[in-house]
Amino acid sequence: MTHAKWLAVALLLCSAIGATLVLAEDDDEVEGAGPTILNKNGFEIDERSIGKVMADETLSAGGVLQMDPVSPVPGLDPLPQVQLRGGNVQVNDPALDNVQIFPGFRPFISYTQSETSVASFGRNIVATYNTSANQPLVPAGPGSLAFVRRFLSGFSTSHDGGQTWTSGFMPPVPGSIFTFGDPSVDVDRVGNFYFAGLGADAAGHATIQVNASHDGGSTWTDAVVVQQDNGGDKEWLAVGRDPLIGNRDNVYVTWTSFQTTGAQLRFARSIDGGVTWETKTIFAPPTNANAELPQNSLQFSAPTVDPIDGTLYVPFVQFSNADEDFIRILKSTDAGDTFSFVNFNVPGAPLPDVLPIVQAGHLIDMGSGGIRLGVHAGPSRPGRFGLRQYFYASRLIPEPSLQARNGALYLAWPNSTSAAFGDPASGSNMLLVRSLDGGNTWSSPVTVNPIVAGDGQHVLGALTIGSSPMDVSVAYYTQHADGTLDVDLASSHDRGATFASNRAIRVSSTNFALPPTVVPLSGACTVLPPPQTSCPTTNYDRLIQPGYALGEYLSVRSANGMVAVLWGDTRNSVQHPINPLDPLSGVTHAQEDVMFQKVKAP
């Protein structure tokens, strides 16, 4: 687009956009939930997280299920200063995985742990993740089953620096039998841990909720409702010093609320250790007639606090209806009382405060999991709308990862190598921009990952900075030409200016394959407007949405001179029981667990 055209678009937007920051105080309860579908180049994309999808399905069905129908760089060594400390350690207890079998149903293989968040304080490390291991079912009448409970929010705690782990499940809101994952964990300056997740209250209303641990992550309080929000999704938590009251740590939570007028960015603050919460809407964007401009759809906020001055930053993605989407950052210097946008001033961008991106991944048909961006392996089969469908697939999101220290900001995200959304020929790289003056000016993007022939995708990254202002590290998944994956860590020792290939290290001790997550089920298909046909699919772990495997993010955290990496990993396998209803009857295949690794990466 020419400079003149962008200028005309910018002027049109400025005249039409009106007030974009909404500071509606004390939204204590939000009953309504609005559309979650985004139109991208004519394709309908569901922007809900896996936790939100499972929450919506579980709560709408009253927790009842019906009977099934029958039918890094080869040849290059990392610098000696970049070292793995110990080996990969599985943090989730495999003894908690289980199989349930009921007459008339395919087996329930509850073997999924992924989508991770980690925090540490001294020798105490808390790993949190989505888990399918604690959702027991019982018969509930002819041809139906009911959940005894559905606890999808799991944790593992280590008190010896990550050598050994004890696993458990986050307590729900009192009287509730549901937690729905989307984990985010952080720790304050005296060692209290806080966990945010999706859940439901005792009446079955969807909630954003927080648990706390005051004993190093061994035990957790009952969940406290931050806000009852039936449209709430993809919450994220940050803990940090108050910018004015230096000896107080605040707990912040942001999330997306899907409302009938569009997606809203919600914010909550606790100044008493998560006991009570103030909530409000901080951004409610309008629609725009120009499909290439930011719309009233946003997701993937991930707040962070500058530990030196207490400034709060909230990056998120705002979508267009075309190829290019936008990262935006809200900044608060008064603990969330007021917010303003950070300017990127990207030449040719439609607004000064947007960073244009193209989301990573191929647009594929994940059957009952919807049309999604994802990575995949193995041969394709025809899907809906001319798209491909894959037996082995995992969905992707473009969540930005931002860290700040003493006014220096580092922002990383996965970006497609193509200018076209969902391009089936595209690869992706982890990109990073930095600002050394609190967001007033920004560098040009640099590629974080080494470029290796055959390694097409670099996705679901997370960024951390060390106590030294020189050290910046980014962890991410790398997909190889054969479809297998590894987890890599790229590091910079010059404040994120460069990421030398010999500073990258392979974190996973073995590569791993995607599991079967888009498995066709036999039976009648639904005929849509010609020539489209919708056929039901299942994840091998049938209580998890098709197309979900690695999770929607991994986690990395610098502490005590080390970098802790936590990720979903599929090196282990499971064998399905013999069952005539099951398309995977007797098949042995990959399944997901959570792995941990410490890295020395100066």
Least confident residue range of 5-19, 328-342, 355-369, 573-587? 5-19
Q: Are 83 and 599 in contact (CB under 8 A)?
A: yes
pLDDT of 561 reads: 85
Secondary structure of the chain: what % helix, strand, coil (to 5)?
5, 45, 50
User: Is the separation of the CB atoms in 50 and 152 below 8 Å?
Assistant: no
Is 273 within a domain? yes
Other CB atoms closer than 10 Å to residue 74's CB: what's the count?
A: 8
Rounded distance between C-alpha atoms, residue 474 and residue 496, angstroms: 10
- The predicted pLDDT at position 10 comes to 35
pLDDT tens, 46-102?
888 878 887 887 887 777 655 554 438 888 888 888 888 999 999 999 999 999 999
The encoded tokens of residue 270 equal 């606790």
Q: Is residue 268 part of a domain?
A: yes
In 339-445, which ranges are E strands?
340-341, 355-357, 362-365, 371-382, 388-395, 401-405, 408-416, 428-435
Q: Please, are residues 132 and 152 in contact by the beta-carbon 8 Å criterion?
A: yes
Please report how many Cα atoms fall inside a 13 Å half-sphere around the Cα of residue 275, on the Cβ side.
Answer: 4
pLDDT at 32 over 70: no
3-class DSSP string for 21-67 = CCCEECCCEECCCCCCEEEECCEEEECCCHHHHHHHHHHHCCCEEEC
Report how far residue 536's alpha carbon sits from residue 176's, in angstroms, rounded to the nearest whole number.
31
**Per-residue burial over 212-236, b = 16 or more CB atoms within 10 Å of its CB, e = otherwise:** bbeebbeebbebbbbbbbbbbbbbb
Which pLDDT score, from 0 to 100, does residue 24 have? 42
Closest CA to 393 of 551, 518, 567, 538: 518
- pLDDT above 50: residue 7: no
256 found inside a domain: yes
Return the H-helix or E-strand segment holding 222: none
pLDDT (0 to 100) of residue 239: 98
Rounded to an integer, the average pLDDT of 403-408 is 96
- pLDDT, residue 53, reads 83
Q: How far is the C-alpha of 211 from the C-alpha of 430, rounded, in Å?
A: 32
Which residue range is the domain that position 281 belongs to? 1-62+251-319+324-356
The total of structural domains in the chain comes to 1
pLDDT over 80 (residue 15): no
Q: Is a pLDDT exceeding 60 seen at residue 376? A: yes
Per-residue confidence band for 401, with pLDDT thresholds at 50, 70 and 90: very high
| Residue-level pLDDT at 60 | 77
pLDDT-derived band at 45 (thresholds 50, 70, 90) equals confident
Mean pLDDT of the chain: 91
Whether 155 is covered by a domain: the verdict is no
Q: Which of 358, 492, 490, 341 is closest to 418 using CA atoms?
A: 358
Report the distance separating Cα 60 and Cα 47, nearest Å. 18
| Predicted local distance difference test score (pLDDT) of residue 84 | 87
pTM value is 0.91
Tell me if 3 is assigned to some domain: yes
Higher-scoring residue by pLDDT: 467, 92:
92
- pLDDT tens digits for 246-259? 999 999 999 999 99
Nearest C-alpha neighbor of 584 from the set 574, 598, 599: 574
Mean pLDDT of 204-215: 98
Region 513-520: what's the mean pLDDT? 96
Q: What percent of the chain has pLDDT over 70?
A: 91
Dist. CA 117–CA 431, nearest whole Å: 21
The H or E element containing residue 17 is helix 3-17
Confidence class for position 529, pLDDT limits 50, 70, 90: low
Q: Which residues contact 2 (CB under 8 A, 6 or more apart)?
A: none
Provide the pLDDT for residue 4.
38
Q: At 23, is the pLDDT very low, low, confident or very high (cuts 50, 70, 90)? A: very low
Q: Map residue 285 onto helix, strand or coil.
A: coil
* pLDDT exceeds 90 at position 27: no
| pLDDT over 50 at 123, yes or no | yes
With contact defined as beta carbons under 8 Å apart, do 519 and 540 qualify? Answer: yes
CB-count burial class (<10 Å; 0-12, 13-18, 19+) for 80: exposed
Name the token pair of 388. 């491909």
Q: Which helix (H) or strand (E) holds 268?
A: strand 262-270
Give the helix ranges, DSSP H, for 242-316: none
Top mean pLDDT of 69-78, 477-486, 513-522 is at 477-486
Q: What is the mean pLDDT of the segment spanning 323-338?
A: 98
- Note whether residue 567 is domain-resident: no
User: Is 584 within 8 Å of 526 (Cβ atoms)?
Assistant: no
- Residue 220 confidence (pLDDT) above 50: yes
What was the pLDDT predicted at 157? 98
Q: Give the closest residue to 473 by CA, choosing from 543, 384, 365, 401.
A: 401
Distance of alpha carbon 187 from alpha carbon 176, whole angstroms: 26
Percent of all residues in the chain with a pLDDT value above 90, rounded to a whole number: 80
**Residue 264, domain member (yes or no):** yes
Residues 231, 566: Cα–Cα separation, whole Å: 29
State the average pLDDT over residues 289-313. Answer: 97
- Tens digits of per-residue pLDDT, 377-400? 999 998 888 899 999 999 999 999
Return d(Cα 371, Cα 362) in angstroms, integer.
10
Q: What is the reported pLDDT for 33?
A: 72
**DSSP result, 78-142:** PPTTSEEEEEEEE-S-GGG-EEE--TTS--EEE-BEEEEEEEEETTEEEEEEEE-SS--EEE-ST
Across residues 126-152, what is the average pLDDT?
96
Q: Which two tokens stand for residue 597?
A: 């690794």
Q: What is the pLDDT of residue 3?
A: 39
185 three-class SS: strand
What's the mean pLDDT in 168-186? 98
Name the residue with higher pLDDT: 335 or 78. 335
End-to-end CA distance of the chain: 42
